[in-house]
Amino acid sequence: MGRFCIVPESPNRQIVLRRRPTGLVAPGDTELITGPAPEPAEGEALVRTTYVGLDAAVRTWLNDQQGYLPPVQLGEVVRAAGIGEVIASRCAAFEVGDVITTLTGFQEYVLVRDDVFSTPIPGKGAVDQRAVMSVYGPTGATAYMGMMDIGRPQPGETVVVSAAAGATGSVAGQIAKIAGARVVGIAGGPEKCRAVVEDFGFDACIDYKHDDLNAALKEHCPRRVNVYFDNVGGPILDAVLGRLATKARVVLCGVISSYLSGEHPGPANYVNLLSKTALMQGFNALDDWGRFEEAYAALRRWEAEGRIRHRETVFEGIESCVDALNGLFTGPNIGKMLVKLSEPASA
């Protein structure tokens, strides 16, 4: 039985969904409410959220459509992955002081059970929680599995990664570099492109907001594209499909370009998959939950060797969660987008 302690009389601030957004999340779509922190029942633990992680999928869960998880219902806390510390436990799997990744949602306290969504991190207060959210959580596992299982980059090949300054893209590109590939990123704006090359070690980066994308792909990928790790869909996917090499592999990880509109036009250049005998495959890392430790072990080794680097963009306070979510689509983030809700015990 995990240790139990009395839950402090703390308010639990939460952001709940009030109406379905159209485009960016607008005032009135959500509401910040305050109630008491819940007390754990038998088999539960109470976690104080330290960081909420923002991914584009959070926005899709606010739409009334089915995905790999059901949509957030009106009146429910906005769903998001996060990390926090156990402050009270009536669950054998968790002790007070444990650091746990789970679906915290936009709230300061959350109840967890011993299930697939809640994972304790070794080290208790010594855990680098920002690194966990950037690399040693679902974000890193997604980059690892998509690149290693579907992309399979080989030495000397050319790999292109869209949303290359983001959390998943930046890690995926570094994995391709470790495999010996030439890696070209696609990102929006000079600051992001500079980070892709200088911080994450890509060989080049195309600024899709200012460059002629087709011309830049021809310049930076003279032998065409062997692997494309796609996070955005839309016109960028279409452009890269037009530059594929024979036997290319296209990894479909996300469709951020159309998450706000909900419309997903098909790429005109899909015929190149036939003419180049190429593969295009979607995936969901949650289907391979049992392999997450394999991914984390590789990522830890590479970071220790100085071959994987990570950055975070951090907002402060629960009031900024919606702004941080919208920021994924308006452009301020480099690396993982986080919202800090409380001070980690190790700080």
pLDDT given for residue 208 in this prediction = 96
Averaged pLDDT score across all residues of the chain? 93
Residue type for position 190: P
* pLDDT score of 331 more than 90: no
Pure H helices in the chain = 56-60, 129-134, 138-145, 167-178, 190-198, 213-220, 234-241, 271-275, 292-304, 321-330
List beta partners, residue 5.
Answer: none
- In terms of Cβ atoms closer than 10 Å to its own Cβ (0-12, 13-18, 19+), residue 329 is middle
Domains in the chain with CATH codes: 11-134+310-340 (3.90.180.10), 138-286 (3.40.50.720)
pLDDT given for residue 245 in this prediction = 98
pLDDT given for residue 80 in this prediction = 97
Question: What percent of the chain shows pLDDT beyond 70?
Answer: 96
Degrees (nearest 5) of the Cα angle 312, 314, 319?
155
Structural tokens at position 329: 């689509």
Give the pLDDT mean for 275-304: 93
Q: How far is residue 235's CA from residue 257's CA, in Å, rounded to a whole number?
A: 9
pLDDT given for residue 6 in this prediction = 52
Query: Please, which residues have CB within 8 angstroms of residue 68's CB and are 6 or more apart in sequence?
Result: 284, 286
Lowest mean pLDDT of 1-5, 150-154, 282-286, 287-291, name the range. Answer: 1-5
Query: Please, which residues have CB within 8 angstroms of residue 168's CB and are 6 or more apart in sequence?
Result: 55, 139, 142, 143, 146, 231, 253, 254
DSSP state of 305: T
Residue 67 — very low, low, confident or very high, per pLDDT cuts 50/70/90?
Answer: confident
* pLDDT score of 124 more than 90: no
Which of these, 101, 100, 109, 89, lies nearest to 40 by C-alpha position?
Answer: 89
Distances (CA, A) of 32 to 2, 35, 76, 91, 108: 32, 10, 11, 29, 11
Structural tokens at position 74: 């009106």
Residue pLDDT, tens place only, 17-47:
999 999 999 999 999 999 999 999 999 999 9
CA atoms within 13 A on the CB side of 49: 30
Structural tokens at position 250: 């296209």
Residue type for position 112: V
**Residue 166 phi, psi (nearest 5):** -80, 180
* pLDDT score of 95 more than 90: yes
Q: How far is residue 292's CA from residue 143's CA, in Å, rounded to a whole number?
A: 11
Query: Please, which residues have CB within 8 angstroms of residue 155's CB and are 6 or more apart in sequence?
Result: 179, 180, 181
Place of tokens 């920002």: 130
Place of tokens 């290319």: 248
| 12 three-class SS | strand
Exposure string (b/e) for 223-240, b if CB count within 10 Å is 16 or more? Answer: ebbbbbbbbbbbebbbbb
- In terms of Cβ atoms closer than 10 Å to its own Cβ (0-12, 13-18, 19+), residue 133 is buried
| 9 three-class SS | coil
Structural tokens at position 16: 């709940």
DSSP string, 40-104: P-TT-EEEEEEEEEE-HHHHHTTSSS--SSPPPPTTSBPP--EEEEEEEE--TT--TT-EEEE--
pLDDT given for residue 4 in this prediction = 53
